[in-house]
Amino acid sequence: MQSVPIRTVFDVITDFLAVEPSPQEIVDYYLPDDLQQRLDDLLDRNGEDLLTPAEREELQLFLNADEMFSLLKTKMKRKLRKPSE
């Protein structure tokens, strides 16, 4: 039996970035609904101290991705505000 590859938050983000989105598209980007729902579930269950060690790792990956993407969005917003040089 062949296992199905699991789609991670970093897979989705790097796929998005690989198509060279515009600064505005980066600013407007949100996770797909299924990944956002997974993150919400992990956060809820973390608050109740119900995560397995693997789920805690998964949550940390989401948080790392969020931090990186927030920084990228901030830089793109700044770039959009600057007049073309």
Span 3-58, pLDDT tens digits: 555 789 999 999 999 999 999 999 999 999 999 999 999 999 999 999 999 999 99
Enclosing domain of residue 71:
31-76
Domain contains 19 = no
1 within some domain: no
Look at residue 48 and tell me if it is in a domain: yes
CA 36/CA 53 separation, integer angstroms: 20
How confident is the model at residue 6, as a pLDDT?
A: 79
- Residue 15, domain member (yes or no): no
> Cβ–Cβ contacts within 10 Å for residue 74, how many?
11
* In a domain? residue 51: yes
* pLDDT, position 85: 55
Distances (CA, A) of 38 to 5, 12, 20, 65: 16, 13, 26, 14
Contact 36, 30 (CB under 8 A): yes
Q: Residue 2: is its pLDDT beyond 70?
A: no
Query: Is 4 a member of any domain?
Result: no
Q: What pLDDT score does 7 carry?
A: 83
Counting the structural domains of the chain, the total is: 1
Residue 9 within a domain: no
